[in-house]
Amino acid sequence: MVAIFLQGKELTFNEFNFHKDLLKGIKIAGFKEPSPIQETVIPIIKNGEDLVGQAHTGTGKTAAFGLPLMNKIINNEIERVLIITPTRELATQVSDELYHLGRFAGIRTITVYGGVGYGRQIALINKGVQVVVATPGRLKDLYKKGKIDGFNPEVVVLDEADEMLDMGFLEEIKEIFEYIPQNRQTLLFSATIPEPIKALADTILTNPQFISVVGKDESTTNNVIEQTYCVINESQRDEAIVKLLETEKIKKCLVFCRMKREVDRLSEHLQALGFNARGIHGDLEQSERDEVIKAYRRNQIQIMVATDVASRGLDVKKVTHVFNYHIPFDPQSYVHRIGRTGRAGKSGKAITLVTTEEFKELKRIQNEVGAEMKLTTIAIDANASEESCGDFDSLEKRVRNTEITECSIEFIDSMEDMDYHEFVERVVSLLLKDSRTTSALIGYDKESVNIMLGEYLDEQKVARQNARQRKRR
């Protein structure tokens, strides 16, 4: 593979000799100049070469492969293109983008995914639609059942290949390629290039060019995204996220949780507090997921609470913030999550909540993706008056989660001269006051985090020494 790092030349779309109808689509889409990945990969694709492109969504990669391929269709150099994406949402997004860019040239596009009837998809493919954007499961089904025998694309694009790997689609991808003619151009795009993706590229691509949108000194994560983290106690998650939602200047944001049930619980909690929030995860019906994403795109929803799967490759403009309510399971997910903001050259903020136990995971992610994350704390409104109420939710949670101790029973007995209601009211007032004064700031300060960091580095050192010893033996 040949590695090409981006130069940042100044080009316009006119220099690619695209058909005038395509240039019209580009103009109406408001693209003034090609993005760095477009500058670099368009000539390679036009040239008919295979390509591995390391780029995440938000870099303009859809148009980077879509424009030269549609141009080839318009010029009758090829008839059919197949684009494989990991999720239905991404398939729809890619096909929407291509439709908008290619509509003046009359390019016919279809999305093919599971959960809906086969008939229309089969009919359109067999009728000769030019661009098929498909998810692996349904596509493999159609090939295997012999429903699209005549569909022999001359170009195949694998989009977000590392996501397909994470979602367990690798075998399906390999099987799909058994049905596609060898004599083809193949393009593979991926935000990260782990070993299995390299191995896949070696089997399905021929002498590919290797393009990276990350320059030599840059990290895999995007510079325009300001990344911070806050070290909290487990019981402070809700309070922390609520404070962040109240104090950050948010146009639109994503809040990531690890579990589907956490998405449901948190979105309901936020709704109950009056936030314009909705949850999205893989257990929702496809129509519900579509509805939530549509409303989010149209700014009818401000806060989308999501699992990783539900938001893969999501390209929604003006997402100013990504909050990691829970730290993701792996570094790739971190890159994908925060890549939902800071899109199309806009800046964005990514704020990650971690407990002291999760601190090490955060460091691991930070090391692996080379991200610069700054420590932050979250201020609770310090100007509230003495009489104000404190935080009901966090108190409720603390009260419900507290076990009844023998001392408390003894204490209540000793207060039996006081009216029961008066007693309860006084205790609650005391607790609420406490919760105000004890938590003017959420999050551990630099000094405490430095101690955690020291422990982490010591552990790493010991692990390295042990590994060396094992090697010597």
Q: Nearest approach, Cβ of 434 to ligand AMP (angstroms)?
A: 48
163: its two tokens: 């996501």
Draw the binding track, 370-409, toward ligand AMP (x: CB under 6 A; -: no contact): ----------------------------------------
155, 187 contact by CB (below 8 A): yes
Residue 319 identity: V
If one counts every other C-beta atom within 10 angstroms of the C-beta of residue 405, the result is: 9
Q: Which stretch binds ligand AMP (CB under 6 A): 28-36, 235-243, 246-254, 326-334?
A: 28-36
Q: Nearest approach, Cβ of 319 to ligand AMP (angstroms)?
A: 11
Site for ligand AMP contains 97 (CB under 6 A): yes
Site for ligand AMP contains 34 (CB under 6 A): yes
- Start-to-end CA span in the chain (Å): 37
91, 85 contact by CB (below 8 A): yes
User: Residues 31, 32, 35, 41: is their CA dihedral positive or negative?
Assistant: positive
Interface residue with ligand AMP among 62, 190, 267, 394 (CB under 6 A) is: 62
- Give whichever of 344 and 384 is closer to ligand AMP, judged by the CB atom: 344
How far is residue 351 from each of residues 216, 228, 318, measured CA to CA in Å?
26, 5, 16
Site for ligand AMP contains 31 (CB under 6 A): yes
- Per-residue 3-state assignment (H helix, E strand, C coil) for 352-418: EEEECCCHHHHHHHHHHHCCCEEECCEECCCCCCCCCCCCHHHHHHHHHHCCCCHHHHHHHHHCCCC
- The owner of tokens 């999205």 is 280
- Give whichever of 13 and 229 is closer to ligand AMP, judged by the CB atom: 13
User: What are residue 178's phi and psi, to 5 degrees?
Assistant: -70, -25
Spatial separation of the C-alpha atoms in residues 42 and 37, rounded to whole Å: 8
Q: Nearest approach, Cβ of 60 to ligand AMP (angstroms)?
A: 3
Interface residue with ligand AMP among 344, 409, 418, 462 (CB under 6 A) is: 344
Site for ligand AMP contains 60 (CB under 6 A): yes
Q: Which stretch binds ligand AMP (CB under 6 A): 34-42, 138-146, 196-204, 328-336?
A: 34-42
Q: Which stretch binds ligand AMP (CB under 6 A): 61-69, 150-158, 365-373, 432-440?
A: 61-69
Site for ligand AMP contains 311 (CB under 6 A): no
Interface residue with ligand AMP among 281, 326, 343, 436 (CB under 6 A) is: 343
Interface residue with ligand AMP among 61, 72, 80, 340 (CB under 6 A) is: 61
Q: Nearest approach, Cβ of 249 to ligand AMP (angstroms)?
A: 22
344, 121 contact by CB (below 8 A): no
Interface residue with ligand AMP among 35, 130, 190, 333 (CB under 6 A) is: 35
Q: How many residues interact with ligand AMP (rule CB under 6 A)?
A: 15
Draw the binding track, 117-136, toward ligand AMP (x: CB under 6 A; -: no contact): --------------------
Spatial separation of the C-alpha atoms in residues 458 and 363, rounded to whole Å: 13
| Parallel, antiparallel or unpaired: strands 378-379 and 441-442 | antiparallel
Q: Identify any residues that bridge with 144 across adjacent strands, giving them in sequence order.
A: none
**CA 31 to mean position of chain CA atoms:** 24
How far is residue 471 from each of residues 252, 361, 464, 465, measured CA to CA in Å?
51, 25, 11, 10
Q: Nearest approach, Cβ of 188 to ligand AMP (angstroms)?
A: 15
Interface residue with ligand AMP among 54, 59, 109, 307 (CB under 6 A) is: 59
Residue 466 half-sphere exposure toward CB, CA atoms < 13 A: 6
Q: Which stretch binds ligand AMP (CB under 6 A): 53-61, 275-283, 374-382, 389-397?
A: 53-61
Which positions ≥6 away from 106 have C-beta within 8 Å?
Answer: 21
Site for ligand AMP contains 220 (CB under 6 A): no
Q: Which stretch binds ligand AMP (CB under 6 A): 59-67, 148-156, 257-265, 369-377?
A: 59-67
Site for ligand AMP contains 190 (CB under 6 A): no
Interface residue with ligand AMP among 315, 325, 335, 362 (CB under 6 A) is: 315
Q: Give the footprint of ligand AMP on this chain (CB under 6 A).
A: 31, 34-35, 38, 57-63, 97, 315, 343-344
